[in-house]
């Protein structure tokens, strides 16, 4: 089962768009059928794939016969009209570059397997497909995504080499091998062509030879298939590899559709927790999370000025590997990836961030903030802590992402500085008057007062912090008292001056 909203959102990435609808997007879809000419009785289902329809009108009539809620047909430049009672709930149109086989694979995976994927079960077995391809090609096979990360590999090891071993162990192509592919134009070929390509041996990279072909859905590159072979294969083998790539594409489409659905289910539950849902304990149990000692990680990623592509890549990486093998559960909200991670100490959260950063391209920059440990009912407050730590990491980047329970003092000062920048600091009073005097006369009275207060009135310690003699500190204090009313003997006013100076300190 899937909602119309989710079907439209997922299929939008595969060349299918909503052309017309009279239904709420929460409408549930539970079955898929294909029009069958000459069948003894009408086929009945919620989603009709109108394969072979000559027009949108004909597809709509088929949909009425099938009692379909959604009708899918080829995109034709024609107005949509309805005859009598033949009006469907929604009409979706398919780009000419996308095959019906690809669309059917995704739709069946979404509608029929939606309930299963919520519990973490994927609909495809790429490893079995890799084994089948290896047997037909006579060489070891790896299936990789568009970033050369390993999705599956064959048990057959014929013609395997050190480069393949390193790729499987690292779960992605080593940098040296990737650089070789870029230098030889292999990656450019995969991006533009569907023809198989032979990559000659390179002893320095540990590569004995490869045959590769792109895995594509329409014009969209999904990944690639790689076969270890010391010499170019014959034409029959090349044809078999191209056919195998098309089969891999169907598997990847279904796998990605299931992954998209998993991400949506997980994301919705995480966002509800972060918003303080009343049934927080139940939601945490559905996500496989403990009910206490959870930390919220707020993370942003960007590549230069482009944040969208890098952020989506980070979210994809954060949610890779469904079932309960991942320690955290993530959601994408606005321009931030939020992850709920078990852990009393912030070290586990920092390791998680470091692992995610290592899995992204080198040019992607990552900022992150970590909340303090929280019970499941307090995650809304923990989200605010993570957001403030993220803002602190952006304004004052450090080697380790800040955690609220370690950096609460910096967070407090950041709040004060934010208020100060909005003009919410006193225009009069000792600190304001000393700062005006400093600007007009190039003195350092405000800094001296700050260090004297920090040293709890010790002129020796204040002088050391300022790099001046203790008598200089005493002299400056006397001059300050001539400029403004300086109530150093009043504990409350000393505290107020310390807060104001901290809010104005941008060091």
Name which residue leads in pLDDT, 125 or 459.
459
User: Could you tell me the pLDDT band of residue 110, with boundaries at 50, 70 and 90?
Assistant: confident
| Residues 13-43 as b or e (16 or more Cβ within 10 Å = b) | ebbbebbbbeeeeebebebbbbbeeeeeeeb
Give the strand pairing for 90-94 and 70-74: parallel
User: Could you tell me the pLDDT band of residue 39, with boundaries at 50, 70 and 90?
Assistant: low
Residue 230: pLDDT over 80: yes
Pick from 2-6, 34-38, 172-176, 347-351: least confident: 34-38
The model's pLDDT over 421-433, given as tens digits with 9 standing for 90+, comes to: 666 667 778 888 9
Taking residues 468-496, report their average pLDDT.
91
The model's pLDDT over 322-363, given as tens digits with 9 standing for 90+, comes to: 444 578 999 998 889 999 999 889 999 999 999 899 888 888
Taking residues 376-380, report their average pLDDT.
95
CA distances from 61 to 35, 55, 73, 152, 471 (A): 11, 10, 12, 43, 96
Round to whole Å and give the CA distance between 112 and 32.
8
pTM value?
0.53
Tokens 């089969």, located at residue: 247
User: Could you tell me the pLDDT band of residue 117, with boundaries at 50, 70 and 90?
Assistant: very low
Round to whole Å and give the CA distance between 195 and 176.
24
Structure tokens at 455: 């040293």
User: Could you tell me the pLDDT band of residue 95, with boundaries at 50, 70 and 90?
Assistant: confident
Round to whole Å and give the CA distance between 73 and 94.
6
Round to whole Å and give the CA distance between 59 and 65.
10
């Amino acid at each position: 089962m899937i909602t119309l909203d989710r079907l439209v959102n997922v299929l939008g990435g595969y060349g299918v768009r909503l052309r017309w609808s009279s239904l709420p997007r929460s409408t549930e879809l539970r079955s898929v059928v294909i029009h069958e000419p000459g069948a003894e009785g009408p086929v009945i289902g919620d989603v009709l794939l109108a394969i072979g329809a000559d027009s949108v009108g004909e597809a709509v009539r088929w949909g009425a016969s099938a009692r379909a809620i959604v009708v899918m047909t080829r995109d034709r430049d024609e107005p949509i009209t309805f005859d009598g009672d033949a009006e469907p709930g929604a009409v979706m149109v398919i780009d000419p570059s996308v095959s019906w086989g690809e669309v059917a694979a995704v739709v069946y995976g979404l509608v029929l397997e939606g309930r299963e994927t919520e519990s973490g079960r994927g609909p495809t077995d790429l490893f079995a497909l890799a084994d089948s391809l290896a047997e037909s090609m006579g060489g070891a096979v790896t299936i990789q995504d568009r970033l050369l990360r390993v999705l599956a590999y064959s048990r057959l090891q014929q013609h395997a080499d050190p480069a393949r071993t390193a790729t499987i162990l690292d779960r992605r192509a080593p940098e040296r091998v990737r650089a070789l592919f870029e230098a030889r134009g292999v990656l450019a070929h995969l991006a533009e062509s569907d023809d198989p390509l032979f990559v000659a041996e390179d002893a320095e990279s540990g590569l004995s030879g490869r045959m590769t072909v792109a895995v594509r859905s329409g014009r969209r590159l999904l990944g690639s298939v790689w076969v270890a072979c010391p010499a170019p294969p014959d034409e029959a083998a090349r044809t078999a590899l191209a056919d195998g790539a098309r089969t891999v594409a169907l598997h990847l489409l279904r796998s990605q559709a299931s992954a998209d659905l998993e991400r949506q289910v997980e994301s919705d539950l995480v966002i509800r927790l972060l918003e303080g849902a009343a049934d927080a304990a139940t939601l945490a149990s559905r996500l496989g999370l403990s009910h206490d000692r959870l930390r919220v990680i707020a993370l942003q990623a960007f590549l230069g000025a482009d944040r969208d592509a890098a952020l989506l890549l980070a979210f994809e990486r954060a949610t890779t590997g469904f079932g309960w093998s991942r320690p955290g559960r993530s959601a994408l909200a606005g321009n931030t990836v939020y992850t709920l991670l078990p852990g009393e100490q912030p070290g586990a959260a920092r390791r998680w961030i470091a692992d995610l950063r290592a899995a992204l391209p080198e040019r992607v920059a990552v900022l992150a903030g970590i909340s303090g440990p929280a019970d499941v009912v307090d995650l809304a407050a923990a989200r605010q802590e993570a957001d403030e730590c993220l803002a602190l990491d952006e304004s004052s980047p450090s080697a380790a992402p800040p955690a609220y329970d370690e950096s609460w003092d910096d967070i407090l000062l950041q709040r004060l500085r934010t208020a100060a920048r909005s003009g919410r600091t006193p225009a009069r009073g000792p600190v304001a008057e000393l700062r005006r005097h400093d600007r007009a006369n190039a003195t350092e009275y405000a800094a001296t007062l700050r260090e004297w207060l920090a040293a709890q009135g010790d002129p020796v310690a204040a002088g050391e912090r300022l790099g001046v003699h203790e008598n200089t500190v005493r002299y400056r204090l006397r001059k300050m008292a001539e400029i403004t009313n300086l109530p150093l003997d009043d504990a409350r006013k000393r505290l107020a001056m310390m807060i104001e100076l901290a809010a104005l300190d941008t060091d």
